[in-house]
Structure 1
Amino acid sequence: MHSKLVKLSAPFIWLFIVGLTVTFGSVAFVQSHKDSKGISFGLYSSKTLLVPESTYSTDKTDPRVLKIEKIFDKFHCPLAGYGDVIVAKADEHQIPYWVVPAVSFQESSCGKRTPKPAGIDESYNAWGYGVWGGNVKTFANWEAGITAVTKYFSTNFFAEGVTDFCEMMKTYTPPSKGSWCEGVNYFANMIDNFETE
């Protein structure tokens, strides 16, 4: 019976030895292997993905700028002419280019209905940012407003992993009960899917 046990266990011992050889051989290979660019990597780990720099320029020929400008022109928005600023700030703060224009459509019909506190002709606040009760946050010009709002959405939502407008609404405009996020989602889709030709 002892000889039968030895005969039955021999293949398993052989498999164990082969397994160890392959494992340690792989480890040795992994530690010394470099890809074609000279970057070392491990067999059981993925190479670090590097996000390439944007291929877009933020000038008037950037397709994102063209989309925003065409939509602003179509709807006669006071923010027309600021598409390049919107895209540049979105890139700088790493948020989607359509966030700030979509919020402006929802909050003020893209700048047509901005809050105007007593004694001020224009608040340059198309986003409802810092507006509650009798309080109205004003900006010196559209660019200052775009900059502040883009930074706010980046810092308070996108940098924290919050990309759903219905989640943002809970902080940005709690009394909306869903209408704000539905509107912003609608305008975001309209902007992102707009055909410029």
Structure 2
Amino acid sequence: MDGPMPEISFKKLLLPITWFGSTIFVFLITLFTLFLSFTNPNPHVTDKYSIFSAKPLVLGASTFSLDSVDARAAMLDNVFEKFNCPLLGTGRVFVEEADKNNIPFWLAASVAFQESSCGKNTPTKDGVESYNAWGWGVYGKNVRMFENWEQGISTVTEYLNNRFYKQDITEPCEIMKIYTPSSNGSWCSGVEFFGDIISNYKTPENI
């Protein structure tokens, strides 16, 4: 005759049940995480727009190298477009002349912003446009005339290099003391302000 069945401990049953339940739970969490990663591979990229879009200036991660002439020219022309500047389309000229003369690509453009609202308020002589957006060589009725924006950019950029950068005068407020000594400081503040806007212009992503 068989003896009595051995008593099964509840504690012995609890351990494998707990292990099995934990394993199933971890497996389900893993599956759910994988599902989310495939359905939204890049959740932080939610706003794509072209560098030539009408959205406001954005400070953020750039998708191009600032060493590129095209990149810096696009930055300048985008800022010119945002401010409705007559200088729009001359970004490449500013960059190429700046590189040739070893000055920051934004400097001559920033001076133009400060002196003439980026070419909006240029002097004329006998009704003829001067294309002088820099207030350079303008004294009373004397107005330095340029044939076009390109000539003005080239001439003023070369001057900024020869008169200042070659003499180790590189700070806008030090340049101001010679370029426009009567200024109370607003000139260099304006140049620095627009220099920051231009040099920090970024686009999240081109599409």
What TM-score, normalized by structure 2, do the two folds share?
A: 0.65
Bigger Cα Rg: 2
* Residues 98 and 188, structure 1, Cα contact 8 Å, conserved in 2: yes
**Separation (CA, whole Å) in 2 of partners of 1:145 and 1:166:** 22
Aligned partner (choices 134, 140, 153) of residue 146 of structure 1: 153
Counterpart residue number, 1:99:
107
* Residues 104 and 126, structure 1, Cα contact 8 Å, conserved in 2: yes
**Separation (CA, whole Å) in 1 of partners of 2:193 and 2:126:** 32
Counterpart residue number, 1:111:
119
Counterpart residue number, 2:188:
181
- Write the letter of the residue equivalent to 1:181: C
**Separation (CA, whole Å) in 1 of partners of 2:68 and 2:196:** 22
**Separation (CA, whole Å) in 2 of partners of 1:134 and 1:174:** 19
The answer to whether structure 1 residue 80 and structure 2 residue 88 are counterparts is yes
**Separation (CA, whole Å) in 2 of partners of 1:82 and 1:101:** 10
The answer to whether structure 1 residue 165 and structure 2 residue 172 are counterparts is yes
Counterpart residue number, 1:193:
200
- Write the letter of the residue equivalent to 2:97: K
Deviation at 1:141, TM superposition (A): 0.5
Q: How many residues align?
A: 140
* Residues 114 and 126, structure 1, Cα contact 8 Å, conserved in 2: yes
Deviation at 1:57, TM superposition (A): 4.7
Runs of at least 4 residues off by over 4 Å: none
- Write the letter of the residue equivalent to 1:166: C
- Write the letter of the residue equivalent to 1:194: Y
Counterpart residue number, 1:89:
97
- Write the letter of the residue equivalent to 2:120: K
SS in structure 1 opposite 2:182? helix
**Separation (CA, whole Å) in 2 of partners of 1:134 and 1:94:** 32
What TM-score, normalized by structure 1, do the two folds share?
A: 0.68
- 1:132-187: per-residue Cα shift (whole Å, max 9, x none)? 22211110000000000000000000111111111111111111121111111111
Structure 1 regions of 5+ residues with no counterpart?
1-54
**Separation (CA, whole Å) in 2 of partners of 1:177 and 1:117:** 28
Higher relative contact order (CA closer than 8 Å, sequence separation 6+) = 2
The answer to whether structure 1 residue 70 and structure 2 residue 78 are counterparts is yes
**Separation (CA, whole Å) in 2 of partners of 1:84 and 1:134:** 32
